[in-house]
Structures are given as C-alpha cells and as structure tokens.
C-alpha cells in the first residue's frame, strides 16, 4: 500500500494575500501622490476662502493687480531656484537686487543713457554672484554663512554709497522712455513687468529642465560626489548657478528702479524670505522633493493671493505676518510628514546640509 500526500486545492479566484497586496499598492500610490497635492490644495483653499469673504477677490482686475504686485518676487524666487537646484542657498539675493537698482537709478539721475544704466545695474548684481562663488567654491565657505556675510557687507555698502541710506528720486521728465517702459509699460492692457517675469521664468525653466547644463546642475546639486566621479565640473556648475541667480535678481532690481522711479536702500531685502518660502513650497510638487520653476511660481501665487486676500478683508498688518507664517508652516510640515511616510526625499532635506563645509576638489 502506498501513501500519497494530498495537495491542497487553491482557488485561483481567491489567492491568499491578493486583497492585502491591492490595498498596499493603493496606499503606496496615495502616499506618493498626496505630498504633491499639498501646494495646489492650499492654493485652491485660499481662492475659495477669500472668494467667500470678499466679493472683490476674484474680480479680474484684482487678480491682474496681484500678478503685477508679485512679478518682482517671482523674478527673485526664480533666480533663487537655480541656486537651490544646484545644492546651495543665497541669502544675499536681496543685495544683488538692491545694488543693481542703485547703480541703474544713480546713472539715470546723472543723465546717462538707459542702456548704460541697465548694463551697469546688471554688472553690480553679477558682482554679488561672483563674490558668493569665490567664497563658496574658492574658499570652501559653507553657502549659508558665505551669503549671509555678503548680505551684511552689501547692506553696509548701500548705506555708504547713499550717504547713510538716503533714497534716490528720479525726475520723471529726465527718465529715458526706454527705462520708464521697462518698469511701467503695458502690452495689450497687461503689465509689462508680468510679461517680462513670465519670459524670464520660461527661459530659466527651459535651462534647468531641457538643457545639458540644467541636467548637470541638478545632478551636481543632488549627488555631488557621483557627479564628480562621472566627470562633471561641479565647481564650475556651482559658479554658473550663483552668477545666473544674481543676474536674474539684478534684472529684477533694474525693473524695480524703473517701476518706482528711484531707489530706496534695503528694499530688496523684503523679497528674501518670501522667495525662500516660495521655492521650498514649490519643492513639495516634486516626487523627488526637487525645486523647480513651475513649483516656485505656485509658491509665489500662494503668497500673493494670501496677502491680497488679507488686505481685502481688512486684516491688520500686524496679523498678516502670523497668517502667512501659519500657512507656510502648515504646507511645509505636511510636506515633511507625508514625505516621511512615503519614504521619498523631503522637499528641503538639502537645506539642512548647507551649513556644512563643501567637500570639493578644484576643477
């Protein structure tokens, strides 16, 4: 007599573990999608909230006004996006803006042609980027500390060059029409500064996303050791990122001088914190926690619409900072928590490594 081992009969329709696998797959997909929805949901919530609180919020004229008010901030934030994408940070971007505005306004006041004033303003801004690059790449000073030092120095330079912080006011009849149009021109009833900011944003987005340079900058910022091993000139890429950041900020400064018909020392510093917040809010849109120009512009819109809405409902200026801080903290905190649960990189993990000295070899 032989004994045979009876094999268990399996039902193919109800394979063991099939339902838990389906649930796990759906949960995994949701954990990757949810962090990327934080900023769009926050933007939609702001639109819905203030449209209910103020009948003038969604009026086309008001929305166009918001775009005009945030155009300079958009330029500054787009420039900062380049540096953060390269693995750095630039706290002196407001100084680049201020010095460019100072140079352009001073030359216009002295009767120089518009193109000369614009060129000198851009050179002043580029000088800030060159100093940052020399400190960070040449002397190996951590980006946070290097650009913070340049911020202090640049602020004092403005005070010295203006005799203690005296503003420069331009006489309207003496301002060249080309310079005036740069800051106060209109194209088909659309503020020319908004159109200019959009063009710059598209150019920078193409450079970062579609060119060989942009891909190299991204790799150098996210994986500097691997980039160096693969033969990329990491130091040169970092220098180019800081120069491009300062150039965009300088362009914003020239536009600000043309728009305000003068220069006020320290005016560029007002854009720094909002620009940093917009850049890192935009990083939540990426599954890799990577900053990008489209994401940065979403962050700029969040700040712009939030400020405008609080003004329309008559909220005191002293409470507006609290409101902005709460919204920013909520977005970033949710981004951290959801990214941690999904196991993906956080939207600003690189920010906390910027005080460490870069370990780089000379290219």
Instruction: In whole angstroms, give the CA distance from residue 326 to residue 102.
Output: 34
Dihedrals φ, ψ of 187, to 5°? -125, 110
Dihedrals φ, ψ of 262, to 5°? 165, -160
- Which element (helix H / strand E) includes 278? helix 272-282
Instruction: In whole angstroms, give the CA distance from residue 168 to residue 117.
Output: 14
What three-state secondary structure class fits 225?
Answer: helix
Q: Where in the chain does DSSP place strands (E)? A: 168-169, 186-187, 190-191, 262-263
Instruction: In whole angstroms, give the CA distance from residue 110 to residue 95.
Output: 22
Residue 3 CA to its chain's centroid (Å): 75
What is residue 361's predicted lDDT score, i.e. its pLDDT?
47
pTM of this structure? 0.86
**CA-wise closest residue to 53 among 305, 330, 325, 301:** 305
What is residue 339's predicted lDDT score, i.e. its pLDDT?
66
Q: What is the pLDDT along the chain (363 residues), one digit of tens a residue?
A: 444 444 544 554 445 544 555 556 655 565 567 777 888 899 999 999 999 999 999 999 999 999 999 999 999 999 999 999 999 999 999 999 999 999 999 999 998 999 999 999 999 999 999 999 999 999 999 999 999 999 999 999 999 998 888 899 998 888 999 999 998 888 888 889 999 999 999 999 999 999 999 999 999 998 988 889 888 899 999 999 999 999 999 999 999 999 999 999 989 888 999 999 999 898 888 877 789 999 999 999 999 999 999 999 988 888 888 888 888 888 888 877 776 665 555 555 554 445 444 444 444
Give per-residue burial for 292-308: e unless 16+ CB within 10 Å, then b.
Answer: bbebbbbbbbbbbbbbb
What is residue 157's predicted lDDT score, i.e. its pLDDT?
92
What is residue 50's predicted lDDT score, i.e. its pLDDT?
93
345, exposed or middle or buried, with CB in 10 Å at 0-12, 13-18, 19+?
A: middle
Residue 28 CA to its chain's centroid (Å): 29
**Is 304 within 8 Å of 19 (Cβ atoms)?**
no
What is residue 39's predicted lDDT score, i.e. its pLDDT?
85
What is residue 141's predicted lDDT score, i.e. its pLDDT?
94
35-356: CATH topology is ABC transporter involved in vitamin B12 uptake, BtuC (1.10.3470)
């Amino acid at each position: 007599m032989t004994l045979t081992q009876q094999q268990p009969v399996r039902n193919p329709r109800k394979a063991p573990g099939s339902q838990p696998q389906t649930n796990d797959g759906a949960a995994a997909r949701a954990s990757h999608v949810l962090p990327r929805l934080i900023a769009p949901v926050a933007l939609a919530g702001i639109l819905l909230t203030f449209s209910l609180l103020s009948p003038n919020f969604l009026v086309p004229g008001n929305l166009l006004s918001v775009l005009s008010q945030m155009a300079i901030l958009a330029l500054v934030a787009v420039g900062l996006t380049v540096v953060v994408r390269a693995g750095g940070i630039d706290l002196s971007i407001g100084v680049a803006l201020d010095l460019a505005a100072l140079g352009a306004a001073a030359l216009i006041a002295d009767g120089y042609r518009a193109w000369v004033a614009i060129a000198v303003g851009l050179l002043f801004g580029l000088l800030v980027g060159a100093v940052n690059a020399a400190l960070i790449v040449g002397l190996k000073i951590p980006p946070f500390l290097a650009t913070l030092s340049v911020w202090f120095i640049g602020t004092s330079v403005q005070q010295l060059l203006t005799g203690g912080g005296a503003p420069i006011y331009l006489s309207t009849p003496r301002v060249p029409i080309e310079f005036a149009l740069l800051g106060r021109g209109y194209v088909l009833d659309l503020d020319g500064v908004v159109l200019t900011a959009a063009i710059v944003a598209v150019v920078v987005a193409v450079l970062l996303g579609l060119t060989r340079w942009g891909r190299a900058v991204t790799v150098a910022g996210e994986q500097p050791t691997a980039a160096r091993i693969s033969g990329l000139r990491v130091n040169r890429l970092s220098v180019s990122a800081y120069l491009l950041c300062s150039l965009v900020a300088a362009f914003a400064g020239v536009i600000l001088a043309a728009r305000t018909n003068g220069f006020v020392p320290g005016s560029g510093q007002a854009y720094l914190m909002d620009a940093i917040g917009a850049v890192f809010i935009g990083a939540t849109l990426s599954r890799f926690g990577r900053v990008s120009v489209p994401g940065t512009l979403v962050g700029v819109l969040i700040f712009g619409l939030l400020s405008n809405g609080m003004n329309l409902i008559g909220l005191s200026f002293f409470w507006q900072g609290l409101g902005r801080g709460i919204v920013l903290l909520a977005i970033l905190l949710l981004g951290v928590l959801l990214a941690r649960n999904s196991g993906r990189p956080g939207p600003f993990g690189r920010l906390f490594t910027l005080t460490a000295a870069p370990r780089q070899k000379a290219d």
